[in-house]
Amino acid sequence: MIDHAGKTALVTGASRGIGEAAARSLAKYGASVVLAARSSEAIERIARDIRSGGGRAIACSCDVASYADVEKTVALAAHEFGPVNILVNNAGLIDPISRLETSDPDGWGKVIDVNVKGVYHCIRAAAPIMLEAGGGTIINISSGAATGALEGWSHYCASKAAVLSLTKCADLEFSDHGIRVMGLSPGTVATHMQVAIKASGINPVSQLDPSVHIPPEWVGETISWLATEAGDAYCGIDCSLRDEGVRKAVGLI
């Protein structure tokens, strides 16, 4: 049984896709959820929907590339629900997809600001609170791109490799203090990101039939599962949702 009653969860990139699914799943299992994203209208709507179903949720406009925004969001979570116990670092970008020689330096840098610095900012803001509380769980959304190169995805591959390294470093520093840090590599998921990938026409991922992508709700349920003791086996590494054993353990098949 998954039970997150009494816990405060912060989910970034919660306006749609994996982030929305994670927020809804964690709320379903009793967590008080703070939905963070730049799209304030979307997260307000999702938070209202969660509350209408009996859950506890608030929305906070936040650009994870800004440490000040992240600090504000973590403080709001503590004020409304109590210190953050579960942090889901989901916010991420893949646009603009381009080969290196035609890439836009500003666009490439923006992906790093969100995908890498955003994860660092959230860990930096939440870790002192978790250390003071004696523990917590940090789940970083990873990708197969963290360990494999793909044409047109130099920014995304580099960023996810960096996130995997952050997962390892954070686990090394925090595991003896009750903070569990793990990655989740979900595989291809039916989200808006796949629309951009398909439109690019670059590399084999863009050629995949949409029917092969898993629903974001599968990822949301896996996040809730990893936030229990089941996640202990994945501290410091990535849990792959392509693994049939993981899918069975979560109850997806």
Tens of pLDDT, residues 98-140 = 999 999 999 999 999 999 999 999 999 999 999 999 999 999 9
pLDDT digits (tens, 9 = 90+) for 170-185: 999 999 999 999 999 9
Q: Is 139 contained in some domain?
A: yes
Place of tokens 């629903």: 215
Amino acid 67: pLDDT: 98
Determine contact, residues 67/122, Cβ cutoff 8 Å.
Answer: no
Q: Is 253 contained in some domain?
A: no
Amino acid 231: pLDDT: 96
Ranges of the chain with pLDDT below 50:
none
CA 129, distance to chain mean position in Å, is 19
Determine contact, residues 17/46, Cβ cutoff 8 Å.
Answer: no
Q: Is 22 contained in some domain?
A: yes
CB within 8 Å of 127: residues ≥ 6 apart: 138, 170, 174, 179
Q: Is 130 contained in some domain?
A: yes
Q: Is 2 contained in some domain?
A: no
CATH code of 235's domain: 3.40.50.720
Amino acid 240: pLDDT: 97
Q: Is 57 contained in some domain?
A: yes
Amino acid 51: pLDDT: 98
Amino acid 39: pLDDT: 87
Which one of the listed residues 29, 120, 156, 234 is annotated catalytic? 156
Task: Determine whether 156 is an active site residue.
Answer: yes
pTM for the model: 0.95
What type of residue sits at position 232?
D
Determine contact, residues 96/148, Cβ cutoff 8 Å.
Answer: no
Amino acid 11: pLDDT: 98
Task: Tell me which residue range forms the domain holding 62.
Answer: 8-245
What type of residue sits at position 228?
T
Number of domains in the chain: 1
Q: Is 134 contained in some domain?
A: yes
Output phi, psi for 44, to 5 deg: -65, -40
